[in-house]
Amino acid sequence: MPCTPETSEATSDSDALHDWVLGLPWVVERPHSPDLPGLRIFGVDCAPMGVRSVWLVTGLPDSSGVAVVVPEAVGADLDLLHLAEPAAPLSDEHVLASVCAGLDAREIERVLLEAYTSTFL
């Protein structure tokens, strides 16, 4: 069963989502193109662990507007649980997965924390 096309109230509160994301350790907002207004890219920049990786994109023109970068296996699990759908393959066995619309705040947090923690693996 694919993601539902409905709009999600939890992902529409982008200010609260962005504040929460930026409150996570080592999360930084990456520079973005002025040609793509509303698009925001977040990464982890953790020098002590040697981790520097993009893990979240918001403001995308899809069902929820939120996508995460995760290993392919994590993307498959999120798809199986109807929390996110693979949107685009990336290099190094990762996938961009679009977070399903209609999820409650707890489910969105689950997806984001899964993506965030997978950057450290």
Domain boundaries, the chain: 9-118
Reported pTM? 0.88
For the chain, what is the radius of gyration of the CA atoms? Answer: 13
Question: pLDDT tens digits, the chain, 121 residues: what are they?
Answer: 577 655 444 444 788 999 999 999 999 999 878 888 889 999 999 999 999 999 999 999 877 999 999 999 999 999 999 999 999 999 889 999 999 999 999 999 999 999 999 999 8
The tokens of 21 are what?
């994301």
Fold of 9-118: Aspartate Aminotransferase, domain 1 (3.90.1150)
What is the model's pLDDT at position 63? Answer: 74
